[in-house]
Amino acid sequence: MKILVAVKRVIDPNVKVRVKTDGTGVETANVKMAMNPFDEIAVEEAIRIREAGSAEEIVAVSIGAPQVQETIRTALAMGADRGIHVASDEDIQPLAAAKLLKAVIEKEQPGLVILGKQAIDDDSGQTGQMLAGLLGWSQATFASKIVLGDGEAEITREVDGGLETIAVKLPVVVTTDLRLNEPRYASLPNIMKAKKKPIDQMAPADLGVDVTPRLKLLKVVEPPKRQAGIKVDSAAELVDKLKNEAKVI
Ligand code: AMP
């Protein structure tokens, strides 16, 4: 079986994001970028499945500007076998990403597709669901455990009340949650080896997909500054303040 993972380049989660002064977005110039953390989990899971003998090949796909090839190289250094770069300088929104991934999947015919549950830049959490819908495939979102069987998979999902385990037929689109695994660091020899692994390039037009944005960004603003808290000396004072100052009880 072949596994396809989608990896997005986002602002490094350890960087404090700054809003542009003109409110048109967030500052990305000279800002450290990294693979979306949920996508690292997706790559790690694919590698573990291959190490367990249930898959032969892992293909990492990223959509975006030329720099996303660095993100594909990171996936290759972790252990993916080859990459696909869908080159576009447009702002790729979830529906466009899902359509492009669908076209790549139709060419590649993987049995399992793993995405992050959300990209930490737009926090949309939509691409996996749209992709499964467009393909007409099973979907298992927010996965914290994947057990592959013969032509099907048992997937444990993180839901509001706890965990839910479902059985799905393959092929399936899975989106990863935090507890699925802890991604490995790429070793230096593997970083060197990754430089030789192939990355195919294609354009949205080659895949017959129109990536024109459907959503219009009106404005980006900083969240309001939090007021400093206060310390109270006793439970009675706390109750008094909640009742008479905050007026919440
Ligand atoms: P989102 O729906 O934007 O929160 O993204 C969810 C997941 O879709 C991400 O974790 C990625 O696995 C995948 N994805 C979204 N956009 C891209 C992109 N431009 N390139 C590769 N994967 C993407």
Is 178 within a domain? yes
pLDDT, residue 188, reads 96
What residue type is 26 in one-letter code? V
Is 170 within a domain? yes
Range of the domain at 191: 2-223
| Tens-place pLDDT, residues 42-100 | 999 999 999 999 999 999 999 999 999 999 999 999 999 999 999 999 999 999 999 99
- Which ligand 1 atom is at minimum distance from the Cα of 92? 19
Determine whether the shortest distance from the Cβ of 35 to ligand 1 is under 6 A: no
| Tens-place pLDDT, residues 158-198 | 999 999 999 999 999 999 999 999 999 999 999 999 999 99
Is 154 within a domain? yes
Q: Provide the token pair at 110.
A: 């993987």
Is 243 within a domain? no
| Number of folded domains that form the chain | 1
Burial (CB < 10 A; 0-12, 13-18, 19+), residue 180, is: buried
At residue 46's C-alpha, the angle toward residues 80 and 116, to 5°, is: 100
Peptide bond connecting 110 to the previous residue in cis, omega within 30 degrees of 0? no
pLDDT, residue 71, reads 98
Instruction: Please identify which residue in the block is written with the tokens 């991934």.
Output: 101
Q: Please tell me the distance between residue 128's alpha carbon and the centre of ligand 1 in angstroms.
A: 8
Is 114 within a domain? yes
pLDDT, residue 240, reads 95
Is 228 within a domain? no
Please report which confidence band the pLDDT of residue 214 belongs to, taking 50, 70 and 90 as the band edges: very high
Determine whether the shortest distance from the Cβ of 86 to ligand 1 is under 6 A: no
| CATH number (domain holding residue 198) | 3.40.50.620
Q: Which residues pair with 156 in a beta bridge?
A: 145, 165
Q: Please tell me the distance between residue 151's alpha carbon and the centre of ligand 1 in angstroms.
A: 26
Determine whether the shortest distance from the Cβ of 115 to ligand 1 is under 6 A: yes
Q: Please tell me the distance between residue 121's alpha carbon and the centre of ligand 1 in angstroms.
A: 10
Is 249 within a domain? no
Determine whether the shortest distance from the Cβ of 38 to ligand 1 is under 6 A: yes
pTM equals: 0.92
